[in-house]
Structure 1
Amino acid sequence: MVEEKFEFTAKTKKNLFIFMGVGVLLTIIGIISVSMGGGHHELEGDAGHHAFHWYQRVFANLWINNVFFAGLSLVGVLFFAIQYAAQAGWSAGIKRIPLSFGAWIPFAAVLMLVTYFVAGHDIFHWTHHDLYDVDSPGYDSIIAGKGAYFFWPLEAGSFPIFFLGRMVIFFLVWYLLFNKLKQVAYEEDSISGTEKWYQLRKLSAFFIIFFAVSSSMASWDWVMSIDTHWFSTMFGWYNFASWWVSGLALTALIVVLLKDKGYLKIVNSNHIHDLGKFMFAFSIFWTYIWFSQFLLIYYANIPEETIYFVERWKNGHYAPLFYLNLIINFFFPFLVLMTRDAKRHARFIKVIAPMIIVGHWLDFYLMITPGTLKSNGGFGALELGLMFIYSGAFIFVVLKQMAKAPLFAKNHPMLEESLHHHI
């Protein structure tokens, strides 16, 4: 099997910079629009009313993109790890594509920490120290009861060392494991036999176990804690499902686009079919989790639980997006990918995969914005602009990583099985 190397051309780089430039322009237009009256003048918080500023909407959008793209980079590495842990042969020719998503992890870590230190007070209500002071008029007994989760071993309302410590440890371990997986995977190019394959299988099992625990905790920290009074025992799964199906869609999209450029001769319509089935199945899985969480809260009708959906359902800013979220992320992929042909042909993947990615970005928008901005949320040039900047930067980093090594390991012990994969 001939080795294939991806070339990150000057034209592709130029197109990505143009795309990010459009994002910068849209962001500036959005900031001007919001600062000139695109938002309401009062921000309704748990502790009352205070003035709304345009930069709060910028902060909320930075956090949406930080969380979404951090998750996308992690589930790429997870997909790679699962292939080894499951001893899967069909994916031998494509699994380096999602592995390259992991190159974004250090960027995600820096962006997340910087955004927290700059904007944490505006994004997270629980950072306000008066919530923990019994003598303060802003005292909140529910949030005070959760103080140790953020501030331990320090006093509640001081510096959230436990919260930030988790964030740093998670990113550090994720990055170290990604680097080790990548290093051993690239060694497979020059060393034949099964030694590296077995090594990757052990490393992958460790990554999967650590990811299972850390990704759930990260979703509680980074997303669920925004609505501090509210909680859902299904939230870790829900957050993961959204990340996971986005990662599958991006993997499928890159694979078919590479095929168009003459790369990945090892990949045929059977491999694309498998990726299509994953997108179809996990779109249904996401909906199952969404509906299970919604139905339990709706049926129990407990005010402190239902408020989460009421804020999204009854608000004029969010209600159309609430329903659009279900249409893009469930009805559209379910109906389009139902047939065998739709899963096997690149032209369908090129339509459905970007829709799924954008749809789940919207899902994170709906998870984060209502809790952060209350009735001052909106959707316009600012949201699109920052999404373009992050998307362009993420794809730039991924493609740069992909160009550093062959697209698949010619010494992979299951390469022959992948070549003859048929479904």
Structure 2
Amino acid sequence: MSTHQHSFNERFEFAGKAKTLSLVGIVIGIVGVLAGFFGGEEGIQNTFSNLLLSSYYFVGVCVAGVFFLAYQYMAQSGWSVAFLRIPQAFAKTLVFAAITLLIVVAAGLLVHHEEVLEGHKVSAPYLYAHWATKGLTDPKSEIYDKIITGKSAFLNLPFFYGTLIVLLGLYSLFGRLLVKYSNSEDVLGGMLNYNKSFKISAIFLVIFGFTFPIYSFGAVMSLEAHWFSTMFGWYNLAAVHVSGLAVIALTLIILKQNGYFEWVNESHMQDLGKLIFGFSIFWTYVWFAQFFLTWYANMPEESVYFYKRWEPEYKWWFWLNIILNFLAPLLLLMKNNDKRSLNRMKFAAIIIIIGHWLDYYLMIMPGTIKKEHMFNLVEFAQDMAIFAGFAGLFSFLMLSTLSKFESLVPKKHPLLEESLHHHIY
């Protein structure tokens, strides 16, 4: 252990190219948002939809960091201790991601525009118009909707927004507690803070397991409120987890290639690659199960969800989703040696990050915007600009957090020695 002592005292310095690129990304995102808001009715709708997509992705990556920390503590796993600071930085960034999503959702609900619904002109919000438009639950209204009325105990503004605040607040609190205990452990040593982390992880996993489907039902599935799938929450959890793992891997590889985390070896990367590979397969299983069961049941109120995504403007995206999120990880990370290669893992992580942006795109866009064209280069450029903005914001906040740790490894973690000598033969 003494041979690694100098490295353990090394702190991450957030400066130079990393900071510049993060700020450039943020500026590009702001320009994309402003261009959308000055782009007429369609531009505004597309902007709100993209803001929801990117902020939901932002929260998902950060909450995946908390999830990763929790199940590593619960499993009493040692191999991951070497790079635990990275998911800890994700966990501390979650509160900012949560606030961003809450602002986007509030704005999308409060800002209205004219829309034709059931042949009548109504004032509808840019987001969640399928259930939040005034009159849908009023029996005397011309746009009265019996299905929405049946779901109004859940799909009403106080319950919907209050649930988001409570759940995101809880996830952020647990993330900050896990980081706090780790920092205290570095100062005090011993088993006290490790045991606290173990207990709080157990509580978090129970709460997270029961509530994450509710969070995804509200934030995304309710965009098309007539449709319902009991598998949607697990489908989202798989997407959130594997995209979070990909961002953890990409961050670790880039930092390692820039001289940090010298104690992380090929065996650590192999285990991280196994998780990415395994949960990519799990994502595919849930995706196929949701698709197959909906097709097999042949119920119009259920199959309409996939019918929309089978139309020409989305169909090729639909199949590209499977190629990026299933076929690419399958071919790139099948062999053990593939997972031990930094460049191959880096490439696979980038593919998966892009793939799950497309995955969320297909969850959100068909339910919020009216597509009347196959492909619009200007609109696509705006989509990419907003995504770049959120990538820059995440990088800036996460790397700023990482730079505040006293060292890049939890020096007094009881399983650190196991991690330092982690080798798979």
Question: Structure 1 residue 341: deviation in Å?
Answer: 1.2
1:216 aligns with 2:220: no
Matched-pair contact (CA < 8 Å) for 1:79–1:95: no
Q: Which residue of 2 aligns with 1:6?
A: 12
Question: Structure 1 residue 70: deviation in Å?
Answer: 0.7
Q: Which residue of 2 aligns with 1:139?
A: 144
- Aligned partner letter, 1:7: E
Q: Give the TM-score taking structure 1 as reference length.
A: 0.90
Distance in 2, matches of 1:191 and 1:54, equals 54
Distance in 2, matches of 1:182 and 1:68, equals 22
Q: Which residue of 2 aligns with 1:297?
A: 294
Q: Which residue of 1 aligns with 2:127?
A: 123
Matched-pair contact (CA < 8 Å) for 1:27–1:383: no
- Aligned partner letter, 1:14: T
Matched-pair contact (CA < 8 Å) for 2:36–2:46: no
Matched-pair contact (CA < 8 Å) for 1:30–1:381: no
- Aligned partner letter, 1:364: Y
**Residue pairs, 1:94-113, within 5 angstroms:** 94-113=83-102
Question: Structure 1 residue 112: deviation in Å?
Answer: 2.2
Distance in 2, matches of 1:29 and 1:148, equals 37
Matched-pair contact (CA < 8 Å) for 1:81–1:204: yes
Q: What's the CA shift string for 1:315-354, capped at 9, x where partnerless? A: x321111111111001011111111211101010111101
Structure 1: which 5+ runs fail to align? Answer: 36-51, 152-159
Q: Which residue of 2 aligns with 1:411?
A: 412
1:327 aligns with 2:323: yes
Structure 2 residue aligned with 1:269, among 246, 266, 269? 266
**Shift >4 Å, 4+ stretches:** 25-32, 376-379
- Aligned partner letter, 2:246: A
Question: Structure 1 residue 117: deviation in Å?
Answer: 2.4
Distance in 1, matches of 2:197 and 2:52, equals 33
Q: Which residue of 2 aligns with 1:348?
A: 344
Q: SS at the partner of 2:414?
A: coil
* Greater mean alpha carbon deviation, residues 82-91 or residues 16-25: 16-25
**Residue pairs, 1:384-395, within 5 angstroms:** 384-395=384-395
Q: Which residue of 1 aligns with 2:167?
A: 170
Matched-pair contact (CA < 8 Å) for 1:280–1:337: yes
Number of residue pairs aligned between Structure 1 and Structure 2: 397
1:370 aligns with 2:366: yes
Structure 1 residue aligned with 2:42, among 28, 53, 67? 53
1:339 aligns with 2:335: yes
Question: Structure 1 residue 382: deviation in Å?
Answer: 1.1
Q: What's the CA shift string for 1:65-91, capped at 9, x where partnerless? A: 111111111011110111111100111
1:76 aligns with 2:72: no
Distance in 2, matches of 1:281 and 1:30, equals 38
Aligned CA-pair RMSD: 1.6
- Aligned partner letter, 1:309: F
Q: What's the CA shift string for 1:25-67, capped at 9, x where partnerless? A: 45556666x54xxxxxxxxxxxxxxxx5321111111111111
**Residue pairs, 1:297-316, within 5 angstroms:** 297-314=294-311, 316=312
* Greater mean alpha carbon deviation, residues 114-123 or residues 284-293: 114-123
Q: SS at the partner of 1:93?
A: helix
Q: Which residue of 1 aligns with 2:246?
A: 249
Seen in structure 2, the aligned counterparts of structure 1 residues 402 and 273 have a Cα distance that, compared at 3 Å, is same
- Aligned partner letter, 2:61: L
Matched-pair contact (CA < 8 Å) for 1:19–1:388: yes
Seen in structure 2, the aligned counterparts of structure 1 residues 165 and 29 have a Cα distance that, compared at 3 Å, is closer
Q: SS at the partner of 2:212?
A: helix
**Residue pairs, 1:149-164, within 5 angstroms:** 149-151=154-156, 160-164=157-161
Question: Structure 1 residue 127: deviation in Å?
Answer: 0.4
Q: SS at the partner of 2:370?
A: helix
Matched-pair contact (CA < 8 Å) for 1:230–1:305: yes
Distance in 2, matches of 1:78 and 1:67, equals 16
Q: What's the CA shift string for 1:182-237, capped at 9, x where partnerless? A: 11111121222222111111111111111112211100000111110000010110
Question: Structure 1 residue 262: deviation in Å?
Answer: 1.5
Q: Which residue of 2 aligns with 1:383?
A: 383
Structure 2: which 5+ runs fail to align? Answer: 110-124
Distance in 2, matches of 1:339 and 1:109, equals 37
- Aligned partner letter, 2:163: R
Question: Structure 1 residue 265: deviation in Å?
Answer: 2.0
Q: Which residue of 2 aligns with 1:49?
A: none
- Aligned partner letter, 1:122: Y
Q: Which residue of 1 aligns with 2:204?
A: 207
Q: Which residue of 1 aligns with 2:103?
A: 114
Question: Structure 1 residue 104: deviation in Å?
Answer: 2.7
* Greater mean alpha carbon deviation, residues 345-354 or residues 255-264: 255-264
Matched-pair contact (CA < 8 Å) for 1:23–1:388: yes
Matched-pair contact (CA < 8 Å) for 2:66–2:174: no
Question: Structure 1 residue 272: deviation in Å?
Answer: 0.4
Q: What's the CA shift string for 1:115-148, capped at 9, x where partnerless? A: 2222122110200121111121211100111001
Q: SS at the partner of 2:227?
A: coil
1:18 aligns with 2:24: yes
Distance in 2, matches of 1:213 and 1:8, equals 37
Question: Structure 1 residue 240: deviation in Å?
Answer: 0.5
Q: Give the TM-score taking structure 2 as reference length.
A: 0.90
Q: Which residue of 2 aligns with 1:43?
A: none
Seen in structure 2, the aligned counterparts of structure 1 residues 142 and 361 have a Cα distance that, compared at 3 Å, is same
Q: Which residue of 1 aligns with 2:121?
A: none
